[in-house]
Structures are given as C-alpha cells and as structure tokens.
Structure 1
C-alpha cells in the first residue's frame, strides 16, 4: 500500500513540474551504495573493490598433503573455527571439526589441519 501511495505522489510531483520521470531515471539518480554503507558492510565493499572477492574466506579450500609436518593451513581472525573435510571424493557428507588456535588437528581420514592468524576485515 505504501509503495502505491509513493508512486502516486511521484506522478503528482512530476505532473506539477512538467517533468517525465521513468523508473530508469530514478535508478540513475540513486547514489553509489558505497556512500551509504557503514561498518562491516562498507569494509566488505571496499575489500571487493580492491579485488578480494572472498573477504571472509568462505570459499572451499583445496586440501593439500596434510601431513603432520605440513598441515593444511586454515586462516582465521578468531581463536577457533569450524572446518569441514570431505574425506573421500564420492562421500555424501561432511566431517566437521573445530580447530583451535595453536594446535593441529587430525581428521578421521588422516589429513592434518592448523589454524593460522589472519587480520580481521
């Protein structure tokens, strides 16, 4: 209902001023979202503008050798992070585990993981 009354007001204002506004014109008049964003949303937009398409490290990592001497390094800005391991290629579930800062953890499939510090966004 509010959007209908808003459209009527816009049309009335356009008729009074002898100006024709189309929805495309209103979209072009909107300012850049970067100007309105604040906090974590703004930092995310700035990171994406700088070329970092995954500022929160949410994409899937390819597992490496994962030995005890060279574990798979998982970045985190916190003291702990939950990690999922798909042990076999045709496995239909994810083996979840918590990684704690400063310790290595071994998955049931034998791969080792270690949490490394990453600067927060």
Structure 2
C-alpha cells in the first residue's frame, strides 16, 4: 500500500515551470474595439464614432416651451415610452407617465410632451 502512495504523490504535485523570457517583439495590444465588437455593441460604437453621443436616448432631455401647440418632443423607436418629469428644479420626486404615439400628454406641472418617431439603432 505504501508503494502506491509513494508513486502517486510525486506525480500529483509535479508542476512544469518555464524559466525562459517571452520572445515577443514589443508591446502586445488588442486591435481596435470595432474589429472585435458584434451586434448591438458594434452599432453603438459606430453611432458614437459618427457623432451621436447618446445613441439610445438615455440622457436627460431639457424641456422646451411645453405648450399644447409646441410640446417637448420625446424620441422613441416604439409606439410608447415611459418618461419622468422633474416638475420643479429643487424637487426630489419624479412624476412618471406613459407617452403613446399620436397622443400628446400633459404632466401634473402643466408641461406637454409628444412622442416622435426615431429610427432604431
């Protein structure tokens, strides 16, 4: 029995170690991220390179006049979108509402919003 363990233990703890230096010529880097990206990530990177800093319209949109005749336009690739209105500058709460295509909507504070079509990314 002891001969079995004496043969097994040295094999289990044996490691191979390399003591040679890397032979690469200079710094190794990955290519351009555009070359590696696929799908929606690639379309996002291409949109950013084309100058669109917010391809998914996630940044805050400043309210325009907000009247019924000139509502603040909210872009969307879909028929509806949920938006949040910060009614007062010092407010700590957000009024959430659904906007639907072709139906301008008025917030509790009196500002009007309208959903406009935007081509998907």
- Normalised to the residue count of structure 2, the TM-score between the two structures is 0.79
In the aligned structure 2, how far is the partner of 1:67 from the partner of 1:95? 18
- Structure 1 equivalent of residue 107 of structure 2: 107
Q: Which has the higher helix share?
A: 1
Corresponding position: 1:35 with 2:35: yes
In the aligned structure 2, how far is the partner of 1:120 from the partner of 1:35? 22
9, 17, 20: which is aligned to 1:15? 20
Query: Alpha carbon RMSD of aligned pairs, Å?
Result: 2.3
Could you tell me which runs of 5 or more consecutive residues in structure 1 were left unpaired when the two chains were aligned.
Answer: 1-8
Summarize the alignment of residues 1-121 of structure 1 with structure 2, pairs less than 5 Å apart.
12=18, 15=20, 19=23, 25-26=27-28, 28=29, 30-121=30-121
Superposition deviation, residue 79 in structure 1: 0.7
- Structure 2 equivalent of residue 3 of structure 1: none
In the aligned structure 1, how far is the partner of 2:78 from the partner of 2:20? 57
What secondary structure sits across from 1:15 in the alignment? coil
Cα deviation 1:68-89 (Å, max 9, x = unaligned): 1111000000111111100011
Superposition deviation, residue 19 in structure 1: 1.7
Superposition deviation, residue 20 in structure 1: 5.8
- Normalised to the residue count of structure 1, the TM-score between the two structures is 0.79
Q: Count residues with an aligned counterpart.
A: 106
Could you tell me which runs of 5 or more consecutive residues in structure 2 were left unpaired when the two chains were aligned.
Answer: 1-15
